[in-house]
Amino acid sequence: MTDWFHLIDDPKALVDLALPYAMRLVAAVLIFLIGRWVMRAIVRLLDRMMVRANAEPTLIGFVTRVVFIVGMVLVAVSALSRLGVDTTSAAAVLGGAAIAVGLSLQNQLASFAAGVLLILFRPLRVGEWVDIGGKSGTVTEINIFFTTLTSFGNQMVVIPNSQVWSGSIINYDRNSWRRVDLTVAIAYDADLRKAKTILQDILAADPRIRAEPAASVALKTLGDNSVDFAVRFCADNKDWWDLQCETLERIKLRFDAEGIDIPFPQMDLHVKTPARLESGAAG
């Protein structure tokens, strides 16, 4: 057992005893300071590389923070080890805690992984109109854990990224144009060729309809109550909705003016009177 009172009386022995601990402390401090400087340099380099790769700002901030925190944990463990602290048990505790947290946050971790994939591969971007699992709206935010849409009725729709990535995504705005598919019905006694010519004239008269791919009017089906035309044309995304509605309006007005009926479902009911009732009524 160290005789501390003897050491106080003997400064040289005190220095000899304290010197190794002081050297360890200085080494631990240097490890921590140098390690922090190195981690900051790595984070700055990683940030520049991700910016040059046009990564999303959300992903850049998250990745750089995670890298810095993990790196500083390793630096701190190294510094404590240099001081003589047994870090084996601490590492085991940290590992067990990480496993427990991972099991309790499975859904959140799945959304996080999906968020990283969404930001990397970009199947949807902020400002695009999309349909995700039946939920339609304009993308307003792509976070690490969830994606936010604003619906046509100005409602906020929040969808976990795990559902976004695992389901189907319909992106209406990624391509510059879309096709409009209309079914136009006329009565069986209407003039078929005249109706087709009218439809072709309406499409040809609108400059917003794209020349390529070319618009088409074709007989689609002979239905129970009508003769149906398939009317197809392509329009730029900005014109798609207005052009669809206005084309339907023009078709209705032209058909009315040209005397071409647009039928509605109906049923003719014929009542037959039994022969014996007819003879009885006559008698």
Other CB atoms within a 10 A radius of the CB of residue 88 amount to 9
3-state secondary structure of 94: helix
- Report the predicted TM-score, pTM, of the whole model to 2 decimal places: 0.59
CB-neighbour burial class of residue 224 (10 A; exposed 0-12, middle 13-18, buried 19+):
exposed
Domain-embedded: residue 266? no
Q: Which two tokens stand for residue 206?
A: 């609108």
pLDDT at 184: 95
**Distance separating alpha carbons of residues 129 and 119, to the nearest angstrom:** 17
Domain-embedded: residue 238? yes
pLDDT at 1: 47
Going through 133-215 in order, the beta strands assigned E by DSSP cover 135-142, 146-150, 156-160, 169-171, 177-186
Q: Which two tokens stand for residue 88?
A: 């084996």
pLDDT at 181: 96
CATH assignment at residue 141: 2.30.30.60
Domain-embedded: residue 95? yes
Q: Which two tokens stand for residue 216?
A: 């088409």
The per-residue pLDDT for range 73-118, each reduced to its tens digit, is 888 888 777 777 666 666 666 666 666 555 555 566 777 788 888 8
Residues 6 or more apart in contact with residue 275 via CB below 8 angstroms: none
Q: Let me know whether 141 and 182 are in one domain.
A: no
CATH assignment at residue 69: 1.10.287.1260
Q: Let me know whether 65 and 86 are in one domain.
A: yes
The HSE-up count of residue 147 (CA atoms within 13 Å, CB side) is: 33
CATH assignment at residue 245: 3.30.70.100
**Distance separating alpha carbons of residues 199 and 216, to the nearest angstrom:** 9
Domain-embedded: residue 265? no
Report the amino acid identity of residue 264. F
pLDDT at 117: 83
Residues in the chain predicted with pLDDT less than 50, given as ranges, are 1, 7
Domain-embedded: residue 282? no
Q: Let me know whether 28 and 97 are in one domain.
A: yes
Q: Let me know whether 13 and 51 are in one domain.
A: yes
Question: What Rg value do the Cα atoms of the chain yield, rounded?
Answer: 38
Q: Let me know whether 164 and 200 are in one domain.
A: no
Residue 8: its H or E element: helix 4-9
Q: Let me know whether 22 and 94 are in one domain.
A: yes
Q: Let me know whether 166 and 190 are in one domain.
A: no
Domain-embedded: residue 230? yes
Q: Which residue has the tokens 């917003």?
A: 208
pLDDT at 68: 84
Domain-embedded: residue 264? no
pLDDT at 17: 57
Residues 6 or more apart in contact with residue 113 via CB below 8 angstroms: 162
CA distances from 56 to 126, 146, 252 (A): 11, 15, 48
Q: Let me know whether 181 and 167 are in one domain.
A: no
Domain-embedded: residue 113? no
**Distance separating alpha carbons of residues 210 and 87, to the nearest angstrom:** 70
**Domain limits for position 84:** 4-104
Q: Let me know whether 68 and 131 are in one domain.
A: no
Report the amino acid identity of residue 94. L
In the chain, the number of structural domains is 3
**Distance separating alpha carbons of residues 161 and 61, to the nearest angstrom:** 18
The per-residue pLDDT for range 38-80, each reduced to its tens digit, is 888 988 888 887 777 666 676 677 778 878 888 888 888 887 7
Report the amino acid identity of residue 136. S
pLDDT at 142: 86
Q: Let me know whether 218 and 235 are in one domain.
A: yes
Q: Which residue has the tokens 């003016």?
A: 257
